[in-house]
Chains A and B, each alone.
Chain A
Amino acid sequence: MIEIKQLCKSYGELRVLNHISEGIERGEKVAVIGPSGSGKSTFLRCLNLLEKPDSGEIWFNGKEITATDIDTDSVRQHMGMVFQHFNLFPHLTIRQNITLAPVKLKKQSQSAADEQATQLLTRIGLIDKADTYPNMLSGGQKQRVAIVRALAMNPEVMLFDEPTSALDPEMIGEVLDLIRDVADSGMTMVIVTHEMKFAREVASRVLFMDEGEIKEQNDPANLFDAPKNKRLQDFLSKVL
């Protein structure tokens, strides 16, 4: 579904992504792990063009989305993204947060979008918060709303950038539960995470990034239990 070919990205002198080539199939759950600063976020943000690659190609559903004549807005409508810091819209109610994009982009009428928001909020047990503002929610609740806000666009793939890193420990579980739920529904996902246990359990494939390259990749059992790359061995010995 997503093909990445020779992707390069630098900030000034710093090469953050170094000729990355990778393919992601429909239904896959790909976890991306690696030390801080290794380019994981940049990689993820290139996939939905929040960052513009310097060179290389990204193909999505058989279309080159790095081409100059591509409508990036319509590409992003098919790719949900969840951020470390939630980025809910503080001036809108929880329900409005969820319905804004589908309604403004004419994907749904306001009443259909409201109905969908009700379903989504019921699913995550926050329907009683529908008409309050984000500042009334805990971190875990905010992130769960951010996830269903992305789901409301019915994306084909969900990108998660360290969705639990900004959370208090006691709230991590509820967010991981929801992500697991989304995974089980068959969603294609790319998830940057430091939760190794979660990656092992949910991911169908794990990529280890270091110095802007994918140094090793494998199914979780083999990658975690029999790492070959020296840097991956070091990394795992530190985090496990």
Chain B
Amino acid sequence: MRLFLAQSLWSDFQKSFIDKDRWLMYLDGLKMTLLLALVGTIVGIILGLLVALIKYSYSTRKKNKPWLSLLNWVANLYTTVIRGTPVVVQLLILFSLSFMPNGVVASFIGFGVNSGAYVAEVFRSGINSIDVGQMEAGRSLGLSSRATMRYIILPQAIKNILPALFNEFIALVKETSVAGYIAVNDLTKVADRIKGITFVNLPLYIVALMYLCIVYLLTLIQKRIEVRYSRSDRN
């Protein structure tokens, strides 16, 4: 009985991993998943920083110029809509646009835009964690608010921001598993396709294990970085 189980497991494994060099498909899927997470995080950081700076400038001025009010309104609309709708729906909508060349590009944009709405909050709370006296000291020396932000606030805030950004990357590794909805061959989609070809369920377990290993590895790296940062913490 036990032998039979082992044999059938081996045969499933052969079908879903070894036959026709299928393991190469997993590798491609993994590459796609990591690429989506990486591009998503980078686009998210750019958008998130932009949104956070807009909201910060808006909140610190007593009287605001009309263009800043408009930008702030757009930023709020952006975060509200993105956080209030499922990422799959956002991807499907993007993919449906006539000018969208393919699912991969739509995913780059989609996950980036989605992540930006969350990263904005990461930056906002990172910036707010810095004592207002720092901004006042910079401004009282005659530095502009932009220069003070760049040379004084952000370098300090980054210590809180960096670990949270790494979290966002780890989250994206898992979240991008819905990219298959718009015909992207990420790790999950690959497993689903192999399952369809071979009629065995093992591919799902294989990718689950792969996700687990990657996330575990990334978490280890993150801990390393945090330790190094807290050691060099001069505050």
Seen from chain A, the residues whose Cβ lies within 8 Å of a Cβ on chain B are 48, 50, 52, 73-81, 83, 85, 87-91, 100-101, 104-105, 133-135, 146, 149-150, 153
Contacts and interface: CB of A to CB of B under 8 A. Distances in A.
B234 A149 contact: no
A57 to B, nearest CB: 17
A85 B143 contact: no
Interface in B187-235: 234-235
B17 to A, nearest CB: 50
5 contacts: A91-B234, A101-B138, A104-B147, A133-B234, A153-B141
Nearest to B156: A91
A141 to B, nearest CB: 16
B234 A73 contact: no
Contact of B234 (A50, A81, A90, A146): A90
Contacts of B137: 81, 83, 87-89, 146
A39 B143 CA distance: 26
Interface residues of B, number: 21
Nearest to A68: B63
A89 B152 CA distance: 7
A50 B143 CA distance: 12
Q: By CB atoms of chain A within 10 A, which of B136, B140, B143, B144 has the most?
A: B140
B143 A89 contact: no
Contacts of A75: 142
A74 B141 CA distance: 9
B155 A91 contact: yes
Contact of B142 (A74, A83, A89, A146): A74
B142 A76 contact: yes
Nearest to B155: A91
Interface string B55-82: 0000000110000000000000000000
A77 B141 contact: yes
B142 to A, nearest CB: 3
A87 B142 contact: no
A83 B143 contact: no
B235 A101 contact: no
B143 A90 contact: no
Nearest to B154: A91
B156 A73 contact: no
A89 B147 CA distance: 14
B151 interface: yes
A105 B142 contact: yes
A149 B141 contact: yes
Contacts of A83: 133, 136-137, 140
Contacts of B235: 90-91, 135
Nearest to B159: A91
Given A85-B133, A90-B156, A104 B151 contact: yes
A223 B134 CA distance: 36
B140 A81 contact: yes
Contact of B133 (A77, A79, A87): A87
Contacts of B144: 73
Contact of A52 (B62, B138, B156, B234): B62
A150 B141 contact: yes
B5 to A, nearest CB: 60
Contacts of A153: 141-142
A83 B70 CA distance: 35
B174 interface: no
